[in-house]
Structure 1
Amino acid sequence: MPDGDLEAGAASGPEFWFYHLESRSLAQTLPELLERTLQRGWRAYVHGADDERLEALNAHLWTYAPASFLAHGLESEPNAAQQPVLLGDSGSLSNAPDVYLSVAPVNLPDSGAMASLQRCLIVFEGGDDGHLGWARSLWKQLKGEGRKLAYWKQNDNGRWEKMQ
């Protein structure tokens, strides 16, 4: 996650950062985003669309790097509300996160639940036409609502760049 402005979470709600995946997969990108989130002392909720994909992400987060430990859990497991990173498909934000990550074309939690968030990360895969179309539609909706938006793509060196 780029460092960007740390003064997020204004009264109008969180900033929405869109991450367009073209050269890297979600499995390669998600651990980096979550590590950066936790380094800031923030908690995260990862919103997926189905149990099978969430189970795969859960397993991957335990094994993505031999020297890493990323504390997390599934919302279907005991003590879910205590997890610093919670993966789920309900959008309930039951772990009181600072950051919400959508990794599938899902309905966002209601604006009341999202009001206390610092940031909402919309992570979408460019090779998935349905996911891409959903992200574009969401961008237009949020822009129409006057939300703070940012669009990030990776450059040839793998670094995230904010696009204008």
Structure 2
Amino acid sequence: MGEAYFYHLTRGPLEQTLPVLLSRSLQAGWRVAVRAPTENRLSWLDQKLWEGPEDEFLAHGIAGGEHDALQPILLTTDKAANDPQCLMAVDGAEVDPQEVTNLARVCILFDGNNPSAVDHARGQWRALTQAGVGAKYWSEESGKWQMKSESPAKTAD
């Protein structure tokens, strides 16, 4: 059973934090799906990943290509065809509790400087933890990532 990790971005922007998390996920041997709510945001993420340092390039694709199943990182607005072990949801993209249980990890990244994004993430935390999903809340407000809260997974009796 996987867990949901909530990343409250207050210092570094998404385009800085996401590649770090993607790299760590690939190092763990996971295929990754990055879910955004719109095609425009996927295009923006794709561009930002291409702009990264050449020696840190993260091979990826946008869903809808003929090689989706082979992508180590697949950018999508829906379910991913690359059989991911990790899902990274950005900009309030929805995550179903069942998805979390079927994956090694789900990362929910949200802009801590946007009150509506914070409210949406709080709602996601409540929905997932009430469904029994284990969750951890990470904040970077001190200048380094620290776990600030944890809700253990609940098992059915």
Scaled to the shorter chain, the TM-score interval is 0.7 to 0.9
Give the 3 Å change call, closer, same or farther, for CA 102–129 of structure 1 in structure 2.
same
Which runs of at least 4 in structure 1 moved beyond 3 Å after TM superposition? none
How far did residue 27 of structure 1 move?
0.5
How far did residue 114 of structure 1 move?
4.5
SS in 2 for 1:19: strand
**Matches of 1:78 and 1:109, distance apart in 2:** 26
Q: Supply the AA of the counterpart residue of 1:81.
A: A
**Matches of 2:117 and 2:135, distance apart in 1:** 18
**Matches of 2:14 and 2:24, distance apart in 1:** 15
Q: Supply the AA of the counterpart residue of 2:146.
A: E
How far did residue 96 of structure 1 move?
0.4
Please name the residue that 2:126 is paired with. Answer: 140
**Matches of 1:59 and 1:25, distance apart in 2:** 15
SS in 1 for 2:108: strand
SS in 2 for 1:142: helix
Extract unaligned runs of 5+ from structure 1: 1-9
Please name the residue that 2:14 is paired with. Answer: 26
Select 1:162's aligned residue among 128, 137, 147: 147
TM-score with structure 2 length normalisation? 0.88
Extract unaligned runs of 5+ from structure 2: 150-157
List aligned pairs for 1:1-164, cutoff 5 A: 10=1, 14-90=2-78, 92-109=79-96, 111=98, 113-157=99-143, 159-164=144-149
How far did residue 146 of structure 1 move?
2.2
Of all paired residues, the percent bearing the same amino acid is 34
The CA RMSD measured in Å over matched residues stands at 1.6
How far did residue 109 of structure 1 move?
4.4
> Is this contact kept in 1: 2:97–2:128, CA < 8 A?
no
TM-score with structure 1 length normalisation? 0.84
How far did residue 52 of structure 1 move?
1.3
What is the CA deviation profile of residues 67-86 of structure 1, one whole-angstrom value per residue up to 9, with x for unaligned ones?
21211000022211110100
What is the CA deviation profile of residues 118-149 of structure 1, one whole-angstrom value per residue up to 9, with x for unaligned ones?
01101000122222111001111122222211
